[in-house]
Structure 1
Amino acid sequence: MSKEIKILVVEDDDNLRFLVGQRLKSEGYRVSEANEGNKGLEMINTDKPDIVLLDWMLPGKEGSVVCEEARKAGFEGLVIMLTAKAQDVDKIDAYNFGASDYVTKPFNMDVLVAMLDSKVKFLLNTDRSEIHKFSNMEHHPNIHTLIRDGKKIELTILENRILLYFLRNPGKVISRDDLMQEVWGYNSDVNTRTLDMHIVRLRKKIEINPDNPQLLQTVRGVGYKFNGH
């Protein structure tokens, strides 16, 4: 795999930025660093990195603003937000300012590297990107999009993760705990109400009648089950 991939790390915690930078260099990535938002935005615009690891809370300009302004200036690379709390992930979706994905802190370096490697594969197009067909829809997880009867429906980062997990486990009863672990991560501090709210939103996008769901069904007292195909 070609590792001529440029990654910009924008993080104000010097220690974390150093550790992430060293690890990514050892994996063969070309790494540049910024420790605050204005500098980060300037480097995105001048260096055109392939991937930006962008801290949510930054001095100068916060991560959401950096991402939004970079997108407005035409930046098309991947932007992965680093957030301290799972709650921030809801904000990332609510603002919808163009983040591609997120990682919650504290994260495991191996997990971060594995995630980047899979993103890079997609960037380099060495594997056919994953597409799932079900009912009258196609799910394109890499671009957070659902195509239904030829129309594009945008999914939030979380809806995208939830749907992908169900599509990879069709017909299987999935507990709420497993789903939350998968979608929000291991240090998750979200509650089941938040999960249920995302399920309701997702149903509005995939079900013919969201009040009587045929695809994404509730299994009382346990969780959910997806009846694809």
Structure 2
Amino acid sequence: MNKKDITIAVIEDDENLRFLISHRLKTEEYEVIQSGNGLEGEKLILKRKPDIVLLDWMLPGKEGIEVCQSLRDAEFENVIIMITAKSQDVDKIDAYSLGVTDYITKPFNMDVLVAMIENKVRYFIPKGNTDVYNFGDTEHHPYIHSLVRAGKKIELTILENRILLHFLQNKGRDVTREELMEVVWGYSSNVNTRTLDMHVVRLRKKIETNPDKPHFLQTVRGLGYKFIEDEVVKEND
């Protein structure tokens, strides 16, 4: 996908920082839209549907995390990167559950921000692929972040979608936690194995008949996970 086809929203009330970020992203040939207010930024995002949102935690009008939650409630599924100050005490586990894709902490190097965005573009931005994956009696439609089982649609979060897609593309292979974290989150120094395991638990509730004794998404002790389909499996959870 050409960078010119990717729109990034910069929602940041610090005018100088917003200018610097926007200028650098335009230099990188991304299309940039921007706002310095939470309420106005939310309306702009819902209207323009940018591929990536850079969202400051503290905003006038409406705080960033509230904007994020409202966007997810409105079924906005694209990447949201939260910008936080180093001094802010942020409960990142809860924020991930509310729909934050990743974090970057002020002050940050612009090269690091660009690298993070390029990683999100590589792993998260749809590339026109409409493949459907099947396991058991379930269909996975990654391009709409959904499962279909018995004619019913089951919504997946962005992260659940990415985790499941990686497993379905690597059936029967041991996948380490480190590999999965890199594939799902890309460049990030903030994600830990606890966060990953939390998302796996939630994914199991959507794909397994009995999440406490998973058939498909098996734990490989001391290593990570393995997706096993249509075979007799040993319980190793």
Whether TM-score is above 0.5 comes out as: yes
Question: Alpha-carbon deviations, 1:126-151, whole Å to 9, x = none?
Answer: x2334322222122223321112221
Distance in 1 (alpha carbons) for counterparts of 2:102 and 2:197: 21
SS of 2:140's equivalent in the other structure is strand
CA shift in 2, pair 1:79/1:114, >3 Å? closer
Q: Secondary structure at the match of 2:164?
A: helix
Distance (Å, rounded) in 1 between the aligned partners of 2:12 and 2:213: 45
Unaligned runs of 5+ residues in structure 1 are: none
Answer whether contact 1:5 1:50 (CA < 8 A) is retained: no
Aligned to 1:59: 59
TM-score normalized with structure 2 length:
0.71
Among 105, 114, 117, the residue aligned to 1:109: 114
Residues 13 and 35, structure 1, Cα contact 8 Å, conserved in 2 = yes
- The answer (yes or no) to whether the contact 2:79–2:124 under 8 Å persists in 1 is no
Deviation for aligned residue 1:220? 2.0
Matched, 1:40 2:18: no
For residues 198-219 of structure 1, what are the alpha-carbon distances to aligned partners after superposition, in whole Å with 9 as ceiling and x for unaligned?
Answer: 2222212111232332211111
1:139 aligns with: 140
Q: Which residue of 2 aligns with 1:200?
A: 201
Identity %: 46
Amino acid at match of 1:102: T
The answer as to whether partners of 1:3 and 1:29 remain within 8 angstroms in 2 is yes
Q: Residues 56 and 212 (structure 1 numbering): CA distance in 2 closer, same or farther, change over 3 Å? A: same
RMSD: 3.5
SS at match of 1:59: coil
C-alpha separation in 1, matches of 2:75 and 2:211: 36
Match of 1:128 in 2: 129
Amino acid at match of 1:115: K
Tell me the equivalent position of 1:94: 97
Give the direction of change, closer, same or farther, for the CA distance of 1:116–1:186 in structure 2 (3 Å limit).
closer
**In 1, Cα distance between the equivalents of 2:166 and 2:77?**
24
**Which residue pairs with 1:81 in the alignment?**
81
Aligned residues: 217
**Matched residue type, 1:94:** S
Q: Which moved more, 1:150-159 or 1:109-118?
A: 109-118
Alignment of 1:5-16 (within 5 A): 6-14=7-15, 16=17
> 1: CA distance between counterparts of 2:160 and 2:63?
24
**Deviation at 1:10?**
0.7
Unaligned runs of 5+ in 2: 106-111, 231-237
**Given the two structures, how large is their TM-score scaled by the length of structure 1?**
0.73
2:220 maps to 1:219 = yes
Question: 1:196 and 1:219, CA in 2 relative to 1: closer, same or farther beyond 3 A?
Answer: same
Partner of 2:18: 17
Name which of structure 1's ranges 52-61 and 113-122 shifts more when overlaid on structure 2.
Answer: 113-122
SS of residue matched to 1:32? strand
Residue identity in the other structure for 1:227: I
Counterpart Cα distance in 1 of 2:152 and 2:115? 37
Q: Distance in 2 between matches of 1:185 and 1:88?
A: 20
Report SS of the residue matched to 1:142: helix
Per the alignment, do residues 8 and 169 of structure 1 end up closer, same or farther by CA in structure 2, a change over 3 Å counting? same
Matched residue of 2:48: which SS? Answer: coil
Q: Shift of residue 5 of structure 1?
A: 5.7
SS at match of 1:217: strand
Please give the secondary structure, in 2, of the residue aligned with 1:146: strand
